[in-house]
Chains A and B, each alone.
Chain A
Amino acid sequence: MLTQLRLTTTKYGAITLTNLQNQLAYIWDALGRAVFIILIMFIFVQLWTAVYQSQNTTEIAGLTLANTIWYFLIAEVMELGKIRHDTRITEEVRDGSIAYTLVRPYNYLAYHFFNGLAEGGVKMVLIFALGLPLVLYYAGSPTLTWAHLPLVLLVMGLAVLLDFFVLSIIGLLAFVTEDTFSFRLIYQKLVFILGGLMIPLDFLPDWLQGTARVLPFNLTTYAPAKLFVAFEWFQFRQIVGLQLLWLFIFGAVLLWQYRVMTQRLAINGG
């Protein structure tokens, strides 16, 4: 039992490590892509500085300007560090090569998760590191206490997993529809508004805010960013509860999808 566990851990660990090595080979490319965060953050800082000025206030919906700036950095880290494996799944389904990858001695989705973890992790670190100087300059150090950090990291982890579930479902939709592009696009774009990527949910009109808070979109982006800048126990409990609920729902869908898929492959003989 224990050896089995050890073997499994080393296997998936090796997948992450190998891709990490691969990522390092293209680190300049990754850095080049991540540099964009500086520009985005610069624009956000200018935009929201102007907003706080023209509103003539230091706080909007409980967030100071410094809070807001930090919020956007974390939200972008979450968004840009997401595991983008869904297009690969769609391609594999479409050209039939999934029949071969499925029989390899690892769990198909776990493989994609641990493989993507390396890529996502590298991106997250890069984006955070590149955005940091600018944010420190305009917003000072973050208000998050060390005690709350592990809790925020937990929410981040669940956020990555939740997003991974959603994109897996979208990728596997390729079994039903030929083009999954539109689903992905709609999901990603909903995160922009309902996920709080472009504007914190707290700034939205009430009618929209209420709905947005229970939908899964905000749990992947808004939730960790908000808790990072303004930690509240009540909100933390609510968010983790909702994250687990949605993980359960999407997990069930995914499991069902996965079963149907393997059956269909068995019938078609790949």
Chain B
Amino acid sequence: MQYEAGKPAIEVRDLAKRFQLKQKAPGLRGSWQAVWRPEMREITAVSPLSFTLEEGDMLAFIGPNGAGKSTTIKMLTGILFPSSGHATVLGCVPWQQRRQLAYQIGSVFGQKPQLWYHLPADDTFRLFARIYELDMKSYQRRRDFLVEAFQIGDLLQTPVRKLSLGQRMKCEIAASLLHSPRLIFLDEPTIGLDVVAKQQIRDAIRTLNETENTTIFLTSHDAGDVESLCRRVIVVNHGRIIFDDKTSVLKRQYLRRKVVDVRFADALTEPFTLPGVETVKQGTYGVKLEFDSRQIPVESVIQQVISGHTCNDINITDPPMEEIIREIYAV
């Protein structure tokens, strides 16, 4: 089946998933009771959820741990049967047309590696070529393209267990793009990676979206991922959508706070203060500042800091995603 152009890549209507969970009271007594009368409780992982995603779009699907992100991805990739509701992904009902869909989507689960641990990534690549029934010529072309995009040329012959986490992740993502999927699910693709690796991965994904109009469905705890990749954000909590709009709107509303860490060459002798800036922490050789970047531009804060002191290091960060989400709940 071919997916028709002009239709949304993902359409979700009232999709829901519930699980049964065994409960146990603490202690030996609780263990003993659980042996005889296990208490079952039903939990809603995903409450009826509805949204659509246009082809070529890049969506960040975010929320705290246990919000139902992964469960949603699993239903959309055909891994899980939903408890109720409908969904079509590239024209397929995932849990009914799992294999048809599989040819057209790619998925990266940051914490569930796909590469064979003891073998060089190239061996897995070749196996994947068989799995997706690619002919050798187009496989070679695609492989060269991905090697270029992710800069993994010199990593492919090394057993995966000997790669660093960042190198491994780049190979992981490249592997799941071998069959040129039209839609990619990325579940925490940059978790635990260093800044350089994160940037390389983001660049490669963006290139893919620009050149091939690949649709991206991303979950991440990293505000940087969301900001640099996605035009649209959906925030879920307790299985419900609590925010669904452009990233710029999210940013304007919530991502305005910046955190600046400064290490000075000389010891501070008096309390560090700047107008409009909150001093979160102060030590002998450093301060941590937080401010609203809409009211005071970042440059002006930095200038004020370096004009009075000799600095060894300055680090500008966004508040963690969790904090932004917490702020969203407050609204």
Does A24 interact with chain B (Cβ within 8 Å)? yes
Does A234 interact with chain B (Cβ within 8 Å)? no
Query: Would you list which residues of chain A between 1 and 60 have a CB under 8 Å from chain B?
Result: 20-21, 24-25, 27-28
| Interface-facing stretch out of B30-38, B167-175, B183-191 | B30-38
> Could you list 12 examples of A-B contacts with CB < 8 Å?
A20-B28, A21-B27, A21-B28, A21-B31, A24-B31, A24-B32, A24-B35, A25-B24, A25-B31, A25-B34, A27-B35, A28-B35
User: Which residues of A sit under 8 angstroms from B31, Cβ to Cβ?
Assistant: 21, 24-25
User: Which residues of A sit under 8 angstroms from B28, Cβ to Cβ?
Assistant: 20-21, 24
Shortest beta-carbon distance from A118 to chain B in Å: 12
The complex places the Cα of A25 from the Cα of B28 at a distance, in Å, of 8
List the count of A-B residue pairs having beta carbons below 8 Å apart. 13
| Range of interface residues on A (Cβ < 8 Å) | under 10
The 9 A-B residue pairs with the shortest CB-CB distance, nearest first, are A24-B31, A25-B31, A21-B28, A27-B35, A21-B31, A24-B32, A24-B28, A24-B35, A28-B35
Shortest beta-carbon distance from B209 to chain A in Å: 41
Query: Would you list which residues of chain B between 32 and 78 have a CB under 8 Å from chain A?
Result: 32, 34-35
Complex: chain A residue closest to B38, CB-CB: A28
The complex places the Cα of A24 from the Cα of B28 at a distance, in Å, of 8
Shortest beta-carbon distance from B273 to chain A in Å: 45
The complex places the Cα of A123 from the Cα of B24 at a distance, in Å, of 23
Besides the contacts A20-B28, A21-B27, A28-B35, what 10 more A-B pairs have beta carbons closer than 8 Å? Answer: A21-B28, A21-B31, A24-B28, A24-B31, A24-B32, A24-B35, A25-B24, A25-B31, A25-B34, A27-B35
Shortest beta-carbon distance from A30 to chain B in Å: 11
Shortest beta-carbon distance from B32 to chain A in Å: 6
User: Which residues of B sit under 8 angstroms from A21, Cβ to Cβ?
Assistant: 27-28, 31
User: Which residues of B sit under 8 angstroms from A28, Cβ to Cβ?
Assistant: 35
Shortest beta-carbon distance from A214 to chain B in Å: 44
**Quick one: which of B24, B31, B32 has the most chain A CB within 10 A?**
B31
User: Which residues of B sit under 8 angstroms from A27, Cβ to Cβ?
Assistant: 35
User: Which residues of B sit under 8 angstroms from A24, Cβ to Cβ?
Assistant: 28, 31-32, 35
**Quick one: which of A20, A24, A28 has the most chain B CB within 10 A?**
A24
Shortest beta-carbon distance from B259 to chain A in Å: 35
User: Which residues of A sit under 8 angstroms from B34, Cβ to Cβ?
Assistant: 25
Shortest beta-carbon distance from A147 to chain B in Å: 35
The complex places the Cα of A28 from the Cα of B24 at a distance, in Å, of 14
Complex: chain B residue closest to A25, CB-CB: B31
The complex places the Cα of A20 from the Cα of B31 at a distance, in Å, of 11
Shortest beta-carbon distance from B25 to chain A in Å: 12
Shortest beta-carbon distance from B323 to chain A in Å: 34
The complex places the Cα of A136 from the Cα of B278 at a distance, in Å, of 80
User: Which residues of A sit under 8 angstroms from B27, Cβ to Cβ?
Assistant: 21
User: Which residues of A sit under 8 angstroms from B24, Cβ to Cβ?
Assistant: 25
Complex: chain A residue closest to B24, CB-CB: A25
The complex places the Cα of A24 from the Cα of B26 at a distance, in Å, of 12
Complex: chain B residue closest to A22, CB-CB: B31
Complex: chain B residue closest to A21, CB-CB: B28
Complex: chain B residue closest to A31, CB-CB: B35
The complex places the Cα of A28 from the Cα of B32 at a distance, in Å, of 11
The complex places the Cα of A28 from the Cα of B34 at a distance, in Å, of 10
The complex places the Cα of A28 from the Cα of B28 at a distance, in Å, of 15
Complex: chain A residue closest to B28, CB-CB: A21
The complex places the Cα of A20 from the Cα of B24 at a distance, in Å, of 16
Shortest beta-carbon distance from A32 to chain B in Å: 13
User: Which residues of B sit under 8 angstroms from A20, Cβ to Cβ?
Assistant: 28
The complex places the Cα of A27 from the Cα of B27 at a distance, in Å, of 15
Shortest beta-carbon distance from B153 to chain A in Å: 32
Shortest beta-carbon distance from A61 to chain B in Å: 43
User: Which residues of A sit under 8 angstroms from B32, Cβ to Cβ?
Assistant: 24
Shortest beta-carbon distance from B95 to chain A in Å: 31
The complex places the Cα of A25 from the Cα of B33 at a distance, in Å, of 10
The complex places the Cα of A80 from the Cα of B27 at a distance, in Å, of 27
Shortest beta-carbon distance from B57 to chain A in Å: 45
Shortest beta-carbon distance from A24 to chain B in Å: 4
Shortest beta-carbon distance from A9 to chain B in Å: 19
The complex places the Cα of A28 from the Cα of B38 at a distance, in Å, of 12
Interface string of B278-293 (1 = CB under 8 A from A): 0000000000000000
Complex: chain A residue closest to B36, CB-CB: A27
Query: Would you list which residues of chain B between 208 and 265 have a CB under 8 Å from chain A?
Result: none
